[in-house]
Amino acid sequence: HDVRRGRTCAKIALIAKAPLLPLYRKAGFEVQGLSEIVHGRDPWFECALDATAVPYEVIDSFSDAAFGGNPAAVVLGEGSEAWMKSVAAEFNLSETAFLRFIEGNRFGLRWLTPTAEVDLCGHATLAAAHFLFGREAYDELVFETRSGDLVATKKGDLIELAFPRDDPMEVVDLKIKGQLLKALSVEAIESVHRSGQRDLLVTLSTEAFRTMNVDLAKISEIERIRGVIPCCAGDVRDEGQADFSSRFFGPAVGIDEDPVTGSAHCALAPLFMKRCGGKSRLVGYQASARGGEVVCDVA
């Protein structure tokens, strides 16, 4: 499949001799019977492949190990709203990315959770870039999204994403702080900030972060938010070197806990940059069961 054109044909047909039939079956071809073509002593067989299937891949972002980081499905092509929602629900991952070729190195990109479309998603954008870099000789990609143009650049074995900085604003609402104390089952909160993505960044002590007991039902009662992000300074792993640690809970958008949330780091990095003496390069560790690291350069 040419990523610039999506589906390019409906059917692929070929003829092959018997020794090659297992190989073609493994590639998805169906053996339809003997061919009328006669060439040589051995018979030929007709094989066909349905090429109308939409190309897709599931990719683990923010991890250098198998089954780590955050998995996202990437689908090359868009359909009706109902079809895209059904596909995202079928994958049942935190995000499914839908790509649409525009021109040159520009692609349309949309992100859907199993229940809603979102304005920004880091790990699914990273997965989409990996998907395209592996199929065409691009050095840079531009994604047209609901959050504007996002640029992905190939940097050796790594991919750099240019995402918008999201300086969070401090929250002084005592009602919200009370709801968060109950939702996280902690005795004290150092600070609460709200990001432009409607996330609540809840800064805790390292001990409170490690021992919190999250109640998703109580998080769901907090109005007008995308998610709750408990966070703390330092690395909660014994031997880790991250500057801050976090987790993400978003039942309002169909995500109980997100393994690694790239978009959340658009707000987490500026918040902890101030706490790290203006340090511009920070490493965030997301302490989910799968776990993952996000390297952030704050400009």
DSSP-derived pairing of the beta strands 158-162 and 148-155: antiparallel
Residue 69 is classified by DSSP as S
On whether the CB atoms of residues 212 and 204 are closer than 8 A, the answer is: yes
Instruction: Please choose, from the candidates 281, 201, 280, the residue with its C-alpha nearest in 3D space to the C-alpha of residue 247.
Output: 201
* Ramachandran region, residue 170 (left: φ > 0; alpha: ψ -120 to 50; beta: rest): beta
**The tokens of 15 are what?**
């003829």
**The tokens of 86 are what?**
């059904």
- Whole-number pLDDT of residue 2: 59
- Whole-number pLDDT of residue 53: 75
State the average pLDDT over residues 35-55: 88
Claim: this prediction has a pTM higher than 0.85: no
Cα 275 to Cα 130, 232, 245, 279, 280: the distances in Å are: 33, 11, 13, 9, 11
From 95, 144, 190, 239, the catalytic residue: 95
- Whole-number pLDDT of residue 4: 61
Q: Is 95 a catalytic residue?
A: yes
Is the model's pLDDT at 45 over the cut of 90?
A: yes
Strands (E) in 10-94, as ranges, are 11-17, 30-34, 44-50, 56-61, 70-76
DSSP-derived pairing of the beta strands 191-194 and 199-203: antiparallel
- Cα–Cα distance between 196 and 165 in angstroms, integer? 10
**The tokens of 192 are what?**
């609460």
212-259 tens-digit pLDDT: 999 999 999 999 999 999 999 999 998 889 999 999 999 999 899 999
| DSSP state letters, 160-204 | EEE----PPEEP--HHHHHHHHHHHT-S--SEEEE-TTSEEEEE-
